[in-house]
Amino acid sequence: MTEQNHSEQDHYGLIARFAGPEALVAATLSAREAGYRRLEAHAPFPVPGLAEALTFRERGIPLIALSLGATAAAAAFFLQWYTAVIDYPFVVGGKPLNSWPAFLPVTFQVGIFSTVMAATITMLAKDRLPHYYHPIFNCDDFARASADGFFLSVRGGDPAEVEDFLRAQGAENVRELML
Amino acid sequence: MPQTTPETLLPEGLTHTTMTERIAGLVLEPRARGRWRLAFAVSAALALMFVVCLGTVFTVGVGLFGVNIPVAWGFPIVNTIWWIGIAHAGTLISAVLLLTRQPWRAPVARLAEAMALFAIVCAGIYAIVHLGRPQFMQFLIPYPNTMDLWPQWRSPLVWDFFAISTYFVFTLGFLYFSLLPDFATLRDRAHSRGLQIFYGVMALGWRGSALHWARYEQVNRVLAAVAAPIVVSVTGIISLDLAVSLVPGFHFTIFPPYFVAGALFSGFATVSFLAVVTRAMFGLKDLITRRHLDYLGRMMLLFALVVNYAYIQEVFTAWYSGDPYQRAVYINRWTGPYAPAWWAMFVCNSLLVQLLWFRRVRRSPAMLLALAITSNIGMWLERFQIVFTSTYASYMPSAWGLSGPTLWDLLVALGSLGLFAFLLLAFVRLAPVVSMHDMRVSIYRAVHKEKSGD
């Protein structure tokens, strides 16, 4: 009894391997229809339609990247204007103190730099990466997810019921995942 | 144009399984290590020489170089421009070809990205060297200091600093980003504990989640969209080092686009060079096909033609300006003491590249390799003659003076080539030389096309 309780506590979910990208998309769609919500699909490349099957609708990353990039560019311009006009006014080559066209290259580069950093860091934060331990790595054939395997993992639920469902969707093999 | 049916971009029967095994095998179970070791040893020795020479130059001073007044910028600026130019095609291939969804991009993109990164490393080091007083490099950074001084924002030297460091961070990030899923593949396939931990740490726990891939593609598009302006701006800004000065031969509005085209020309030449070498070294002749070489050759030809157009415009502007000094610089380039450099450049960049009009030349690895080498020599000579002929004889004949490279110039230049090769050879041992996840997309698309075609 205690042993069974222990294994129930350690139960994370089930993972199933499918034959190919199309089969995985189809299985994901029907799992959503059947009411499963805690799903994660794994593929070795971005399979068209797979994220949409998991109702992925984020548009945030480009917007965040663009707005942070624009803000940083404005800050860079302000820094140049402030240092050249207010803090250290110094006439060079008879140019006006606020010689704004000459400030644009640095403004542009800082904007680009920040856009890139913002996009990348936002992605990592949303993905919750780095994330070195995950129960699915306990699955013995999950190594194929980075080569030629297409997986769907279902978290929680009654293992027997979920397994029947996954098998009915044409899963090639189904494994239990432990925490 | 009548075409004999060209081979497909993907070999017949290549699946996700076999492709992953082959490419990951190049890293995890390397063969033909003898040649790699020899090349690595030679390049490591040259890289070490680079470090020693630069150490000497930094200790003794730039007086070791052949720079003088009037030629205050000698080899260091020539090599900075040359290396940064080589980097540009890497960014262009990985980004612009991604946005335009060119199907031939996948097998050469990784090479191009790595080449770009290591070329920027060389360019960045040379940029520090060309400052002359590298111990004051931090003056380029705006930071609150005890002298209450700020950088001179109107100086292209400060723009250079921002441009090159942005470009370096961008390229490093872009390369790592593209490597991330491939590191996961290597982590899952490595046998030794050490490699598993190394690739595991590098892969950040990537598990191929569909949502992660979706965000990955979004970020990839952002990076690619940002890459195009970077390509144009970095060399453009570096060309302003020359163009904003009033020196005849430097002072042209055409310089930024002219330098960008030259950068892309030499960059595509270097990608072609590396593609030919890699496909022979790693037995990738079916992945990097002659058709890929054909496309690379076309890109080389395209940018060579733009460069030649710029040469014509430059000469025309000098003549049309009516300015005797501007005109004299050009006459001097053809007949003066540096004339051999100009004519050698003309042969490399204007005459020899015309061979690329022929399909058989573009598809021949040996010919493409030879033309890649001559094009890079030509582009180096172009920067050499711009920097040297413009400054050695500008206005007052009393201030004229020839300048030539010293042994240190040559050793540092050779050493930078060694450093580039060293980094690239180390890279191909540690990371897959072909982007596996991009290849998987190509294979998926090819299979999909076949299915929908039926």
Q: In this predicted complex, what is the ipTM?
A: 0.92
Residue B222 Cα, gap to closest chain A Cα (Å)? 6
User: Rounded CA gap, B381 and B185, in Å?
Assistant: 43
- Confirm or reject contact between A50 and chain B (CB < 8 A): yes
Nearest partner of B245 among B374, B107, B417, B73, judged by Cα: B73
What is the reported pLDDT for B453? 58
Task: Kindly list the domain boundaries of chain A, sorted by start residue.
Answer: 11-55+130-178, 60-127
What is the reported pLDDT for A4? 47
- Confirm or reject contact between A38 and chain B (CB < 8 A): no
The burial class, CB within 10 Å (0-12 / 13-18 / 19+), for B93 is buried
Q: Compute, in degrees rounded to 10, the torsion defined by CA atoms B178, B184, B186, B190.
A: 160
What is the reported pLDDT for B393? 87
What is the reported pLDDT for A3? 42
pLDDT above 80 for A122: yes
What is the reported pLDDT for A141? 87
What is the reported pLDDT for B255? 93
Stretch 128-147 of chain A: residues touching chain B, C-beta under 8 Å:
129-134, 136-137, 142-147
CA-to-CA separations, B348 to B81, B198, B294, B343, in angstroms, rounded: 18, 44, 19, 9
CB atoms within 10 A of CB B371: 26
**What backbone torsions phi and psi does residue B209 show, to the nearest 5 degrees?**
-65, 140
Q: Which residues of chain B have pLDDT under 50?
A: 1-5, 454
Confidence of residue A140 (pLDDT cuts 50, 70, 90): confident
Element (H, E) at A40: strand A39-42
- Confirm or reject contact between A25 and chain B (CB < 8 A): no
CB contact under 8 A, B218 and A41: no
User: Rounded CA gap, B429 and B438, in Å?
Assistant: 19
Residues 6+ away with beta carbon under 8 Å from B290: B7, B363, B364, B365
CB contact under 8 A, B154 and A62: no
What is the reported pLDDT for B304? 96
Question: Which residue do the tokens 């179970």 mark?
Answer: B29
Q: What is the pTM of this model?
A: 0.92
Tell me which chain B residue has its CA closest to the CA of residue A133: B205
What is the reported pLDDT for A7? 62
What is the reported pLDDT for A8? 67
B434, B284 Cβ separation under 8 angstroms: yes
Task: Kindly list the domain boundaries of chain B, sorted by start residue.
Answer: 19-448
Nearest partner of B421 among B82, B88, B36, B106, judged by Cα: B36
- What secondary structure, in 3-state letters, does B216-232 show? HHHHHHHHHHHHHHHHH
Question: Which residue do the tokens 């004051």 mark?
Answer: B136
Partners of B177 on chain A (C-beta within 8 Å) are 120
